[in-house]
């Protein structure tokens, strides 16, 4: 363009269009790769944006009794609740960092779990522990007691995700995302990122120290296989491990390798349904595998990155946390 004014106008238009594109609500479509997926998600299922305006969403947990979804906003240090009637509401703040010194980064809550006695357990990045909220779900208060906070006398990094087995063993991942200065933060006491098991007596056992950034964790319905995601941008992989009788893990192997995928997103949170189908956030959206690791399809999400997901109790609805948004897909 020889005319400088026209060139300037063209540049302004392009920049404006880019900003507008960034503000467009994310859109999702279901990609059926195998006919098996039709038994899980109907072909005309729609992906809806049901809440927005978050910092970075994670840790979704469906509470059937209260018909509410809880989710974490990590940089906002807040646990939100979402209901069909009330929409998005603050549930608990502070949710992950309770210190007096101001700080930034991914300091807030992440993975959420309901304990057998009905307490909310929270992976707290800033406080570097898994904590129990010492209050009712109907009257939440930021009062906490530590469930797991150390390994071998050293403070954990920043617990990220967690699950409970039927016998009360707690499995959790501990990457380095909660440190304000990253994995080289001088306050880091453990020189690796681990996967752990804590038995009902409170004893914490290291299961793995070989994954760069262990993130999502889930267990097959028969509790014989553990799936762990690695949110390493180089090794975009999910791993499977056999669970031994004492709760330790053996026979590690790659469940699926997405390292060559070019779409945005890493291997992050995941959930497994009662039939062993795996719903895993990964490059481009939510990947759906059967229990053998065969890809059945994807929930492709444009305009944002999926971080985690949660199933309703009847497994007919999937909730997806995706950066500044909460999405929902009614699958059946």
Q: Where are the domains of the chain?
A: 55-210
**Which structure tokens are listed for 245?**
């009788």
Decide: 281 and 307 in contact? Cβ < 8 Å: yes
Q: pLDDT in tens for each of the 332 residues of the chain?
A: 434 333 333 332 333 233 333 456 888 999 999 999 999 999 899 999 999 999 999 999 999 999 999 999 999 999 999 999 999 999 999 999 999 999 999 999 999 999 999 999 999 999 999 999 999 999 999 999 999 999 999 999 999 999 999 999 999 999 999 999 999 999 999 999 999 999 999 999 999 999 999 999 999 999 999 999 999 999 999 999 999 999 999 999 999 999 999 999 999 999 999 999 999 999 999 999 999 999 999 999 999 999 999 999 999 999 999 999 999 999 99
Helix/strand/coil for 230: strand
Q: What is the pTM of this model?
A: 0.92
Please state, in angstroms and rounded to a whole number, the distance separating the CA atoms of residues 21 and 27.
Answer: 12
Fold of 55-210: Neuraminidase (2.120.10)
* Strand 285-289 versus strand 295-302 pairing type: antiparallel
């Amino acid at each position: 363009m020889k005319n400088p004014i026209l060139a300037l106008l063209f540049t302004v238009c392009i920049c404006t269009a880019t900003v507008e594109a960034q503000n467009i609500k994310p859109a999702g479509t279901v990609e059926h790769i195998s006919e098996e997926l039709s038994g899980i998600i109907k072909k005309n299922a729609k992906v809806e944006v049901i809440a927005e305006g978050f910092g970075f969403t994670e840790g979704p947990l469906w509470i059937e009794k209260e018909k509410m979804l809880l989710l974490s906003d990590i940089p906002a240090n807040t646990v939100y609740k979402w209901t069909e009637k009330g929409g998005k509401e603050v549930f608990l703040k502070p949710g992950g960092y309770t210190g007096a010194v101001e700080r930034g980064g991914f300091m807030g809550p992440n993975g959420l779990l309901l304990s057998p006695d009905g307490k909310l357990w929270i992976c707290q990045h800033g406080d570097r522990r898994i904590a129990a909220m010492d209050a009712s779900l109907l009257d939440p208060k930021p009062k906490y007691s530590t469930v797991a906070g150390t390994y071998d006398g050293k403070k954990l990094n920043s617990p990220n995700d967690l699950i409970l087995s039927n016998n009360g063993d707690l499995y959790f991942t501990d990457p380095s995302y909660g440190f304000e200065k990253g994995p080289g933060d001088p306050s880091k006491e453990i020189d690796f990122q681990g996967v752990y098991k804590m038995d009902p007596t409170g004893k914490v056992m290291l299961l793995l120290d070989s994954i760069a950034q262990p993130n999502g964790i889930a267990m097959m319905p028969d509790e014989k296989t553990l799936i762990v995601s690695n949110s390493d941008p180089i090794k975009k992989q999910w791993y499977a491990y056999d669970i031994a009788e004492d709760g330790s893990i053996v026979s590690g192997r790659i469940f699926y390798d997405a390292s060559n995928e070019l779409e945005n997103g890493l291997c992050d949170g995941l959930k497994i349904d009662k039939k062993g189908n795996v719903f895993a956030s990964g490059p481009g959206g939510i990947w759906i595998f059967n229990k053998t690791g065969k890809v059945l399809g994807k929930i492709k999400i444009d305009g944002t990155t999926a971080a985690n997901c949660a199933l309703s109790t009847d497994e007919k609805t999937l909730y997806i946390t995706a950066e500044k948004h909460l999405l929902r897909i009614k699958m059946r």
